[in-house]
Amino acid sequence: MTTTRAQSGERHPAVVITALGIAQILAWGTSFYFPAVFAGPILAETGWSLGYIVSGTSIGLLVAGLVSPWVGRTIDRYGGRPILFASSLLYAAGLAGIGLSPNLAVYLAAWVLLGLGMATGLYDAVFAALGRMYGKAARGPITNLTLFGGFASTVCWPLSAFMIEQTNWRTACFIYAAIHLLVSLPLQMAAVGPAAARDSKDAPATADDTPPLENESLAFGLLALIQSILTAIGSIVVVHLLIFMQARGLTYAAAVALGTLFGPAQVGARVVERIFGSHYHPIWTLIASCVLMALGLILLYEAVPILLIIVLIYGAGYGISWIARGTLPLALFGPVRFPRLIGKLAFPSLIAQAVAPSVGAWLVDTSGADATIGVLTLFACINVVLIGMLWFTCRSHIART
């Protein structure tokens, strides 16, 4: 514990997670959840295509995916402090660029900066930083952090709407840029202290008594594929949830009302994971995630009339998938290599997350909502098979940890 506290600057984990959690709310709310509120006002003022406006998020995710392996290597060598410092600056620059954009080209270019901010400031980077700080004990902090992240839309959607109503969308971007500099930056710098630099030849900063994992390359490939499918399904459902609800007979107003339960379902499942997660291996978290998401989509495809239950089941599975995204690689591969490996794992899943909404929109336009739900259900069931294969591959390792 002495090494851990030294690396975290003697800060109590609760203080660290609270500071990083507030920054996560702002990071998610001003990137991934940005178009939900801003797209309409931007369209009304500029007349740019809605598709191009929303595609900014895809550009950001693509950029984030491309640089995520480098982010993981940098955190592994220097700790999370310089990366998180850069994230606040990049978020501020990207949001200021969006607010200043005189044309669509500048707007989309600003999303490249915002994508770099996403790569250095969203879950994967912060998970890596927590792994560098706390070693094998990072499971609890990672889970706690996702509890904060689950409130990003709850906080930022009404805040964004209020700022746009009181000023305009450009001023709201400038205000968010200032918040990243004046709130997120000092919070992250206070939470994550300097870490001793190291390279692959140095002695590890944290002891790693993780048993060797047989068939490690196969396990890594399966995990990367499972995470990519999970994030692709999740992105499509988040973007098109209201369309799917309306295809099952709900009015738009009822679909919106039901959709508001998606966030609480995620947070509720994460609370359960936080309470009981220490009693079982993180692979069971991912197994539960895959099964719950598949079950929710099967029920939706079969047009089961109790849509409330469907939203709660699927939302719970999706919510804990983000916990497994950080905790399972830590348990399987150990804390020493965790920052580098989580950066590599993030690469395909962020690419999938970027491309999936457009693929989903194409499926809805060409084949309809029912066929799209069917395709998602098929891939969710494939993921259940894949997670079974991963468990079988790692079963002896799991039994020893």
**144 is a domain residue:** yes
Chain segment 359-392, per-residue pLDDT in tens: 888 888 888 889 999 999 999 999 999 999 999 9
What whole-number distance in Å separates Cα of residue 64 and Cα of residue 116?
A: 6
In a domain, 206, yes or no: no
* pLDDT value at 175 more than 60: yes
Q: Are residues 121 and 260 in the same domain?
A: no
Last residue of a domain, one of 191, 206, 240: 191
Pick the range with the lowest mean pLDDT from 59-63, 256-260, 292-296, 318-322.
Answer: 256-260
Q: Which residues contact residue 38 at a Cβ distance below 8 angstroms, ignoring those fewer than 6 apart?
A: 160, 164, 169, 172, 173
Query: Domain with 164 in it: what CATH number?
Result: 1.20.1250.20
Structure tokens at 215: 């068939």
Mean pLDDT across 233-242: 86
Tokens of 292: 């719950």
Does 163 map to a domain?
yes
Let me know whether 264 and 155 are in one domain.
Answer: no
Q: Which helix (H) or strand (E) covers residue 231, if one does?
A: helix 216-247
Q: What is the pLDDT of residue 377?
A: 96
Domain identity same for 77 and 119 = yes
Mean pLDDT value of segment 108-128: 95
Give the highest mean pLDDT range of 3-17, 35-49, 64-78, 84-98: 84-98
Given this model, what pLDDT does residue 2 score? 39
Could you tell me which of 398, 382, 392 has the C-alpha nearest to residue 290? 382
Which residues contact residue 134 at a Cβ distance below 8 angstroms, ignoring those fewer than 6 apart? 4, 8, 13, 141, 335
Q: How many domains does the chain have?
A: 2
Would residue 42 count as lying in a domain?
yes
Within a domain: 338: yes
Task: Give the pLDDT of residue 205.
Answer: 47
Measure the CA–CA gap between 266 and 315, rounded to whole angstroms: 5
What local confidence, expressed as pLDDT, does residue 198 receive? 67
Closest CA to 105 of 154, 167, 68, 56: 56
The answer to whether residue 202 is domain-embedded is no
- Tokens linked to 154: 């709850």
Do the beta carbons of residue 362 and residue 240 sit within 8 Å?
Answer: no
**pLDDT given for residue 207 in this prediction:** 53
* 241 and 295 share one domain: yes
Q: In whole angstroms, what is the distance from residue 389 CA to residue 391 CA?
A: 5
In this structure, which amino acid lies at residue 96?
A: A
The DSSP call for residue 202 is: S
Q: Taking residues 210-236, what's their average pLDDT?
A: 90
Whether residue 270 sits in one domain with residue 221? yes
Q: What is the 3-state secondary structure (H, E, C) of 105-168?
A: HHHHHHHHHHHHHHHHHCHHHHHHHHHHHHHHHHHHHHHHHHHHHCCHHHHHHHHHHHHHHHCC
Residue 297: which H helix or E strand, with range? helix 282-301
For residues 208-229, average pLDDT = 87
Residue 344 has pLDDT above 60, yes or no: yes
Residue 245: band (very low, low, confident or very high) from pLDDT cuts 50, 70, 90: confident
Q: Please tell me the distance from the alpha carbon of residue 29 to that of residue 95, in angstroms, as a whole number.
A: 12
**How many other CB atoms are found less than 10 A from the CB of residue 246?**
15
Residues 267 and 185 in one domain: no
Pair 12, 142 in one domain = yes
What is the C-alpha separation between 241 and 301, in angstroms, rounded? 13
Question: For residue 10, what pLDDT is reported?
Answer: 57
* Tokens read off for 291: 């099964």
Domain range for 257: 216-400
pLDDT digits 0-9 by tens, 176-186: 999 999 999 99
- Coil, helix or strand for 192? coil
- With respect to residue 252, please indicate whether it lies within any of the assigned structural domains: yes
What's the whole-model pTM score? 0.86
**Domain co-membership, 357 together with 235:** yes
Q: If you average pLDDT over every residue of the chain, what do you get?
A: 89
The CA–CA distances, whole Å, from 51 to 56, 127, 357, 376 equal: 9, 32, 11, 22
Are 314 and 362 members of one domain?
A: yes
User: Are residues 113 and 34 both part of a single domain?
Assistant: yes
Do 159 and 243 lie in one domain? The reply is no
Q: Span 316-333, mean pLDDT?
A: 92
200 in any annotated domain: no
Q: Are both 155 and 260 inside the same structural domain?
A: no
- The tokens for 166 are 């009181």
Report helix, strand or coil for 12: coil
The model's confidence at residue 259, banded by pLDDT at 50, 70 and 90, is confident
